[in-house]
Structure 1
Amino acid sequence: MMTRRHELWTVLWLGTTLVAACRPAGERVVLGNGTPGVAVGSDTVTPAAQAGAQAADFPPPAREVADIVAPRWTAEDDRDNAGEFDTVVKLARITRGQAVADIGAGDGYYVARLSPLVGSDGVVFGQDIMPEYLALLQRRVVRDGLSNVRVVLGEAHDPRLPAASVDVALMIHMYHEISQPFALLWNLASSMKPGGRLVILDLDRPTYGHGTPPSLLDCELSRVGYRRLSRRETGPEEYVAIYVAPTPAQRPTPAAVSASLRRSPCRSP
C-alpha cells in the first residue's frame, strides 16, 4: 500500500512534469543574478563553473542509492511548523552577507528563505541536477524577485559551482540520493572558501529508505578529507551533521581516495 508520503511524492512528480511540459522550447529566462539563460524544453541553461574531477576518477559508493523522487521533501507549511529551516540555519550559523549553496535545491524551499536572510550583500546558489526542478525554482526566483539567487545546473559528480565561493553548503534530505558521492564531495571542496562548512540534514535509516546512517556518512566524507564538527539529533530519526571542507592542500587526490576505498569500503552498518 502506498503511504501518504509516497502519495505526496507522486503528486509532486506529476506536477513537475506538467509544469515542465508547459515551458516552450527556447523560451528566454533571466536568472536571479540578472544573467540571461535559455530554457530548452524543461532545461534551464546557466553559465557553469569549470568542470572538476570526473566521476570515473572515483569508485561508486558501496551502498544503495535512493531514487530522486520529488522536488521537495514534504509540504512547506509542515516544515515551517516543525521549525526545520530555523533549526538548520541556527546550527549552520548562516548570517547576512554569506554565500550559501543549496545542493539539491528542488523547487526552492530553502532558497526562498535563505535569500532574505543573507541579504543583498550575500548570494544563494540554488543547485540541482534535475532540469525540471530548476525550471520550478527559476519561476519562483522570478516571481518573488530573489535578485541574489543564482540558479545552477550541476551534475551527479560535480555541483559546478564557482571556485572558492561558498561559505556554507547545504544538503537537505538528499545525501542518500547522490550516486557519485566521492566525486561530488571532492569537487564541492573546490567551491568552498577556507573553513567552509557542509551541513547535512538526513534521517538515521538505510539509504534505500531515504536516509543515511551517521557512521556511513562520517566514513564517506572523511575519505575525501571532510572533518566533522558536530552532529545533533533534531527529531525522530533525524539529525544535522556539520563538516568543515578540506582545503586544496588537505584534500586527498582522487587516486588516494580510490585506494583508501579499495582497502576499506564505506558500508552501511
Structure 2
Amino acid sequence: MKYQPKNNLLYLGVIILLILCCWLLNPTLSPIAPTASATYQQKAVHSPDGIGKFYQGREIAKVMGHTGASWLERPQREAEEQPSKIVNAIDLKPNDVVADIGAGTGYLSFRIAPLIPKGKVFAVDIQPEMLDIIKSLKKEKNIPNVEPILATVSNPNLPSESVDLAIMVDAYHEFEYPLEVMQGIVSALKPGGRVVLVEYRAENPFVTIKPLHKMSQKQLKKEMQAVGLLWRQTKNLLPQQHLMVFEKPQT
C-alpha cells in the first residue's frame, strides 16, 4: 500500500503528458485552445475571390491592393455610386471627429473634411502606399484636417473614445479580422457614436458585383450585433448600395 501514491502520481503524469502531446499535435482539441478557432473557420475549398477564411458564415473577400487606387478615383464614380449622397446623408456637425476606415486614396475623407472645419478626419488604412497618396493629396488640396492613420489587419489604431462617426465604404467585407477591427472601432467611438456601413446589396441579383464583395442587411446586422452595436436605420438612397447606421450605446 505504501507504493500506491507513487503509482498514482506516475499514472497522472502519463495522462498529463498524453494530453500535452495531443494539444501540440492539434491545439483545437484542447480545452485551452485559442478562442480564435471558434471565431473564424478556415476552409481549403473556397471562392477564388476570397481568402478561405469564414466569419459568421460569410467568406471574407480579398483586399483590393494599392495598385487599384486609380479605380477609386475614376471620374465616373459619382455617376455610378453617387458618393456625394453619402456625405450629405451622414448628418455631420462642424466639430465632429470622423474615422474613414479603409480610406484608400482618401476619396471620401477629402469630401468630408471641409464639412467639419472644427473637427478632423482620421483616414485609416493598412496599406502605407495608400497613406502616401493621401499625404500627397492633402498637400495638393490644402486640406489640413485629414490625418492619415496606419492600421493593422486587426487594429484600427484609433484613440479611445475619440470618434463621433466611423464610416466604411465598400471596405468592411474585406477585413481579415472583422471582429477585432470592429472591437477597436467600438472602443474608439464616443458613447452614442455612430458607425455607417456602405456595402453593395447582396439581396439584389442585378447588382453586378462579385458575390463576396456584396453584403446583405441581415448579415451586417448580425455582425454588428456581435460587437454590441445597435442598428438604427437603413437609408435606401444609393443606386446599388445599402447605407446602414449603427450606434454605440450611451452606457
TM-score over 0.5 for the alignment? yes
Listed one character per residue, the Cα deviations across residues 72-95 of structure 1 (whole Å, up to 9, x for unaligned) are 764453233457333212321112
Structure 1 counterpart of 2:94, one-letter code: R
Listed one character per residue, the Cα deviations across residues 150-170 of structure 1 (whole Å, up to 9, x for unaligned) are 110011221101111111111
Tell whether the 8 Å contact from 2:101 to 2:123 is kept in structure 1 after alignment: yes
Counterpart for residue 59 of structure 1:
39
Structure 2, unmatched stretches of 5+, are 1-33, 41-54, 204-209
Deviation at 1:143, TM superposition (A): 1.9
Which residue of the other structure, out of 228, 233, 238, is the alignment partner of 1:230? 233
Counterpart for residue 77 of structure 1:
75
Q: Give the 4+ runs in structure 1 shifted more than 6 A.
A: none
Listed one character per residue, the Cα deviations across residues 237-260 of structure 1 (whole Å, up to 9, x for unaligned) are 41100000245x5xxxxxxxxxxx
Residue 133 of structure 2 is aligned to residue 122 of structure 1: no
Tell whether the 8 Å contact from 1:64 to 1:208 is kept in structure 2 after alignment: no
CA distance in 1 between partners of 2:140 and 2:234 (Å): 36
Distance change (3 Å), C-alpha of 1:74 and 1:147:
closer
Tell whether the 8 Å contact from 1:203 to 1:239 is kept in structure 2 after alignment: yes
Deviation at 1:101, TM superposition (A): 0.7
CA distance in 2 between partners of 1:203 and 1:94 (Å): 23
Residue 63 of structure 2 is aligned to residue 68 of structure 1: yes
Query: When the two structures are aligned, how many residues end up with a matched partner?
Result: 194
Deviation at 1:209, TM superposition (A): 3.4
Tell whether the 8 Å contact from 1:55 to 1:157 is kept in structure 2 after alignment: no
Structure 1, unmatched stretches of 5+, are 1-53, 250-269
Residue 225 of structure 2 is aligned to residue 245 of structure 1: no
Q: What's the TM-score, normalizing by structure 2?
A: 0.70
SS in structure 1 at match of 2:167: strand
Counterpart for residue 193 of structure 2:
196
CA distance in 2 between partners of 1:137 and 1:86 (Å): 19
Higher Cα radius of gyration: 2
Deviation at 1:113, TM superposition (A): 1.1
% identical equivalent positions:
29
Give the alignment of 1:29-178 within 5 angstroms.
Answer: 56=36, 59-60=39-40, 61=55, 62-69=57-64, 70-71=68-69, 74-81=72-79, 84-119=82-117, 121-178=118-175
RCO higher in structure (CA 8 A, sep ≥6): 1
Distance change (3 Å), C-alpha of 1:57 and 1:186:
farther
SS in structure 1 at match of 2:158: coil
Q: What's the TM-score, normalizing by structure 1?
A: 0.66
